Amino acid sequence: MIDCPCGSTKTFATCCALIHQDETLAIYAEQLMRARYSAFATGNVDFAVNTYHSSCNALSDREAIANSSRLNWIKLEVVSSSKATEQQAESSTQAFVEFKAWYMEANSTTLHLMHEKSRFEKELVGDHLCWRYIDGEFVDDLLTNEKPSSKISRNALCPCNSGKKYKRCCAL
């Protein structure tokens, strides 16, 4: 069983893969954001493109989105989310999710941090209102102890929290 890239305690098959198959299962914007992260981590470019709001015209940026999915996505941390009860989530049309995502470029030992506050809006897709990614605002981490990028030693613990050394985990 493969753990879900989104960082939940569930397997991929019982978590984000379900939303990849049926996006209407994302009741909260955070669920869609996690599924989008997992789509980038697993190379599911179609899901990433299709879950942009129609006003974003993501199809014209498909190649750039595909390039982002080729990065080695290491770890996701949801900082905050405008979660509501299921009933409130059905009636709300806009939500925000702040997250931190760590990634590395191919053949690199530099760990990068993307810290964003994303805006989601519901949009009619077929017969269903579905959450869609609109845009995001990058958060400046220079005021915190987080470093936007840093080198990883081969013998350091892997940043994905596997408990293994980097050389035996994500460096492979």
Q: What is the pLDDT at residue 165?
A: 64
For 86, list phi and psi in degrees, rounded to 5: -60, -40
- The three-class DSSP label of residue 147 is coil
Per-residue confidence (pLDDT) for residue 171, from 0 to 100: 62
d(CA 58, CA 67): 13
Mean pLDDT over 102-115 rounds to: 90
Residue 100 has pLDDT above 60, yes or no: yes
Distance CA 158, CA 153 (A): 9
- Per-residue pLDDT tens over the stretch 3-29: 999 999 999 999 999 999 999 999 999
The pTM is what? Answer: 0.82
In degrees and rounded to multiples of 5, residue 110 shows phi and psi of -95, 125
Q: Hey, what are 169's tokens?
A: 């985990």
Mean pLDDT of the chain, nearest integer = 86
pLDDT in tens, 60-99: 999 999 999 999 999 999 999 986 555 565 678 899 999 9
- pLDDT tier at 107 (50, 70, 90 boundaries)? confident
What pLDDT, on a 0 to 100 scale, did the predictor assign at position 144? 47
Q: What's the mean pLDDT in 147-161?
A: 61
Give the pLDDT band of residue 143 (cuts 50, 70, 90): very low
Q: Please, which pLDDT band fits residue 157 given cuts at 50, 70 and 90?
A: low
